Structure 1
Amino acid sequence: MGKSFTKTLVSTVAFAVALGAAGFSATASAATLRMAWSQDATGLDPHKQTAFSSLRLLELVYEPLVRLDKDLKIIPALADSWEFSEDGKTLSFKLDPEAKFQNGNKVAAADVKASFERLMAEETGAAARANFLSIETIDTPDDTTVVFNLSQPDVPLLTAMTSINAAVVPASEIEAGTIGTKAIGSGPFKLDQWEPNSKEVLTANKEWAGGEVKVDGINVSVLPDETAILAALRTKQIDFALLNDPLVATLVPNEASLTLDRTPVLNYHVLQLNPSRKPMTELGVRQAISCAVDRQDVLDTALLGEGKVSGPLTMPAYASDPSQLFCYERDVEKAKKLMADAGYADGFSATVIAATGEPPTAAAEAQVIQSQLAEIGIKLDIKMMELNVYVDTWLKGDFDMAVALNGGRADPYSMYNRYWTKAGNLQKVANYIDDTLDDLMQKGRVETDPEKRKEIFAAFEKHLAEVSPWIWLYTAYSYTAQQKNVTGFVPSPTGSLFGLTTVTVGE
């Protein structure tokens, strides 16, 4: 790997230098952060986007009512304060009276109401719609007060509101039908220019109610080859980079001029099966696949061991020992017996889809899984897709299997209800539900006792691993690299780049 990487690095240094005039500003102000990432946003509608690359951009422009800090605690964003009623059936917010959208208009209760009505409307196709279906009505007694009236107590609702998929957008832009065609938020940065798959230009929002942004702006270059990003860091053409490929990130500490932030994240790597397609309709076949996959081997081969094997629940407060879950220790003989008992002793053929670049290890993960499943007679054809094509295909549930990197959440319900409840808006992606999963999710939604919630979701995780609609693999790290003169970035277990608000660029 060393020689081939060196050769690639030499060529990409030349590539990055050649890109300088177009992609990097040699005369950029010291207070402008020059940044690069390998995957660009696939759209600008914060309510609809599911790709990590989209969320990383939009969280700099839009704001939710509340957000998570680096310790996964809920803190103010657009809302100064909030309170559940004693019976748990209303959730009230007081908005920051200084909050403004980037068009100069104040953020008002009417904007919050319009935003949530939009993302709850089925025709919107909002990514997190299922998280908010307990909301029956929304009252706005004055411009800075919003009251959500709920059909039932909903403990994880507040956590769900921390997502950028629950961003507050201007009611006027909803009415004009311009959400997704331009980005007008209330966040720390304004999106001045977006050239898809090329660059973004952001300027600091001087009227951001959240405080002072330490840089004048961020110039983002999209470089699909992360070795080119590392080369640009080495030659000081960029100040800061988001890295996804551990093969590249683990080389950063070798560079004396650079610093690497390596943070465990809640996002999970998973092999998604489609239980609506034969033979994955058979429990024994799905379980056989789970028993045949060596999760640690996939992790070691595709990610250089940069992560840890995980069950479905990745948040520290609820995560369990994955070795206690169904077939987390590889057992090929058990897998073969399960296949035979299900009527597939001779195996079958299937296609697995994977996205180019997100994660960058997707192809390697698919290849290792392909080799492992071949041992029980499953012939996998790997189909690589550009990210936007993959996302569209994935959202339609149009696959036999999919290698995926999915987002984690601080609460199990808000993380999984869109897949594993009967009303989940991504049920057509999961293509599986049973009464046990739905019942446990509903119990976890209303239970207020933390220890009882842990018991409920432990049972949920155990059952989910046993029925094996997906094969959970592991969690990994988020990586950011920066020049030594770039300070103040605060990484997050969610992978958020919101910590760029406190970055300073020195001489």
Structure 2
Amino acid sequence: MPRGAFSAVGAAAALTLALTACSSSSGSSSSGSANGPASGGRTLVVGVTSDPDTLFPWKATQFQAVNVLQNLYGTLTEFDKDLNVVPGLAESWQTSDDGRKLTLKLRQGVTFADGSAFDSADAKASLDQIMDEKTAAVARASLSSVKSVEAPDAGTVVLELTGPDAALPANLATVNMAMLSSGDTEEKLNATPNGTGPFTLGKRVPSQSITLARNDKYWGAEKAKVASVEFRVIPDESSIVSAMQSGNVQLAVFDDPLVAQTAAGGGTITVARTPQLNYHVLQLNAQHGDLKDVNVRLAIQCAIDRKQVLDTAALGEGEVTGPITAPAYKSDPNRRPCPGRDLAKAADYLAKAGKAGGVTVKAIVSQGEYATSVNEAQNLKAQLAEAKINLELEVLESGAFVDRWVAADFDAAVALNGGRPDPDGAYGRYFTSDGNLNKVAGYSSPELDELFAQGKATTGQAERKAIYDKVAAELEDNAAWVWLFAGYTYTATTANVTGFAPMASGSLQYLRTTAVG
């Protein structure tokens, strides 16, 4: 995509605000000397609420797994701190005049953690396997325009496309598109990750901690500033604050604004607030039970005051959102059948569905992956009860939730989903009929298939915005899901931490520039 397409995202990321009177150095993307690490043999301890549920990047959907893996693996393209697409393992790329060929020139001298060289054979094998349905890669749909992958020489990869794909460079930047050594297997990598990232796996104690060691052979201009990063599992965010106050943890990212306020109030911790592309949502599986009827789904949409969910669960810290949260393509949350709560309309929709007496919908909720989940679920349950809709909650630990979610084993799910700078990457895999996560979304249509195809084939930002506005309208008019709000993350650092850059995507990729004094 043109760099200009991401300018609005960059503006959003630039809105990072300090919650304390102290100035935060987290906006800096570098620290110390370019000739070596600034904090030698130090370990940065990051407090997290859950353990990664997988170490295989092509199947990672849990936030904590993604945060770890993006520091172990490399991708062909990357996002910078303003979410512009920049070179990664591919130092440059060029699209043919007809848009049907993408040629990537790979960096030379890149090695995997095991010392083996990365080249075009690895890139081709990785992309071919991601596209193979048997792999069950969560980003497979993002390569739907790719007909074939060729490696004409060790430093070149050529993607033959069915047509222009404006989203492809951005889609290649996610860790679900990580480049793997062609000889590695899922089983092997779940035990011993083997990537090209700024860190390698050091030690793992299940359910307690996972430690990454600096990769001194990392291809980047600067090696990581710290010798190691330990992700320490502390299930409760308030307990993480206590650990920071006692000096046992130096960095954490919170979802709960009340916890962030508590952390900032002590005077020893700096907290930076960053608007997020991630969105809170009540996912409805339109293939299950009463939810097959669009009128039942619309009744649920109309019975929910989304601002009340935001105020109750997140102290009003955020904004009500429509489907697309990327600033360059943002949906208007008022363009939906019920912009505000309307119990009379909800009753009408239930009557149209022949369910005037009410319905019961079973919903899964994650406990531990993000802090506001249970409060959101309880507020939704209370609101829907007033419309004769019984939301039956099943609270699950993070790993069990992800397993049920990937298997589409739910009627509804209270979830926090990762947003993307490009709408195709965010939703193409969910809401197209051949999308590899379509069974999770539970909804598709010929109209959406055509709109997503148009979105890929169109390069002008204004034209793409108009297309994705139609996508959003289709999703809202059919209540595929009920989009609630987009919030903030709160990055807490102790006084001796410098160089971390929070991102609107929630990425922790700038742990590589973080130093501990």
Residue 15 of structure 2 corresponds to: none
Q: 2:434 aligns with which of 423, 433, 446?
A: 423
Deviations along 1:430-457, one digit per CA (max 9) or x if unpaired, are 1111122111111111112221111111
Instruction: Write the distance in 2 (CA, Å) between the matches of 1:104 and 1:451.
Output: 45
The one of 345, 354, 357 equivalent to 1:346 is 357
User: Within 2, Cα distance between the matches of 1:47 and 1:160?
Assistant: 13
CA–CA distance in structure 2, aligned partners of residues 79 and 206 of structure 1: 20
SS at 1:398 equivalent:
coil
Q: Give the 5 Å matches for 1:173-212.
A: 173-174=184-185, 178-210=188-220, 211-212=222-223
Which of 450, 453, 466 is matched with 1:455 structurally? Answer: 466
Report the Cα distance in structure 1 between the residues aligned to 2:367 and 2:208, rounded to whole angstroms. 17
Query: What is the aligned partner in structure 2 of residue 497 from structure 1?
Result: 508
Which residue in 1 is equivalent to 2:287? Answer: 276
3-state SS of the aligned residue for 2:429?
helix
Instruction: Say which SS state the counterpart of residue 336 (structure 1) adopts.
Output: helix
Query: Equivalent residues in 2 for 1:250-399 (5 A)?
Result: 250-399=261-410
- Structure 1 residue runs of 5 or longer lacking an equivalent are 1-27
2:174 aligned residue (156, 163, 169):
163
1:113 paired residue number:
124
Is 2:237 the counterpart of 1:237?
no
The answer to whether residue 22 in structure 2 is matched with residue 35 in structure 1 is no
Instruction: Assess if the C-alpha contact under 8 Å between 1:38 and 1:243 holds in 2.
Output: no
- CA distance in 1 between counterparts of 2:503 and 2:451 reads 29
Q: Name the amino acid aligned to 1:128.
A: A
CA offset at residue 130 of structure 1? 0.6
- Partner SS, residue 82 of structure 1: strand
1:291 and 1:329 in contact (8 A); partners too = yes
**What is the CA–CA distance in structure 2 between the aligned matches of 1:147 and 1:196, rounded to whole Å?**
40
SS in 1 for 2:503: coil
In 1, Cα distance between equivalents of 2:213 and 2:337: 50
**1:461 CA drift (Å):** 0.6
Q: Does the residue aligned with 2:242 lie in a helix, a strand or coil?
A: helix
Native 8 Å contact 2:255 2:370 kept in 1: yes
Measure, in 1, the Cα distance between the counterparts of 2:278 and 2:206. 25
Contact 1:30–1:505 (Cα < 8 Å) also in 2:
no
Q: In structure 1, how many angstroms separate the alpha carbons of the residues matched to 2:435 and 2:322?
A: 21
> Given the alignment, which residue of 212, 217, 228 partners 2:239?
228
Equivalent in the alignment of 2:16: none
**Runs (4+) of structure 1 moved beyond 6 Å?**
none
Q: Give the whole-Å Cα distance in 1 for the aligned partners of 2:132 and 2:190.
A: 16
CA distance in 1, matches of 2:43, 2:403: 35
Q: Deviation digits for residues 330-372 of structure 1, max 9, x if unmatched?
A: 1111111111122111101221110111222111111101011
Checking the alignment, whether the CA contact within 8 Å between 1:326 and 1:462 is kept in structure 2 is no
Cα shift at 1:30: 6.4
Cα contact 1:98–1:106 (8 A) shared by 2: yes
State which of 149, 159, 162 in structure 2 corresponds to 1:151. Answer: 162
| Alpha-carbon distance in 1 for matches of 2:256, 2:136 | 31
- Aligned-partner residue type, residue 211 of structure 2: V
Give 1:78's aligned residue. Answer: 89
Describe the SS at the equivalent of 1:351.
strand
Counterparts of 1:434 and 1:273, CA distance in 2: 16
Partner SS state of residue 500, structure 2: coil
Q: Distance in 1 between matches of 2:193 and 2:487?
A: 31
What corresponds to 2:29 in structure 1?
A: none
Matched residues in 2 for 1:196 and 1:261: separation? 30
- Count matched residues: 478
Partner of 2:70: 59
TM-score, normalising length: structure 1? 0.92
2-structure distance, mates of 1:420, 1:459: 13
Q: CA deviation at 1:321?
A: 2.6
For 1:470-499, what per-residue CA distance to the aligned partner results, in whole angstroms no more than 9, with x for missing partners?
Answer: 000111112221111101101111100011
CA contact (8 A) 1:487 1:505 kept: yes
| Residue identity matched to 1:190 | T
Consecutive unaligned residues of structure 2, counting only runs of 5 or more, are 1-38
Q: What is the CA-CA distance between 1:182 and the residue it aligns to?
A: 1.6
* More contact order relative to length (CA 8 Å, sep ≥ 6): 2
RMSD value, Cα? 1.4
Letter in 2 for 1:163: T
- In structure 1, give the amino acid aligned to 2:52: A
- Aligned residue for 1:322, secondary structure, equals coil
Share of identical aligned residues, percent? 41
Q: Within 2, Cα distance between the matches of 1:418 and 1:166?
A: 14
Q: Report what 1:122 is aligned to.
A: 133
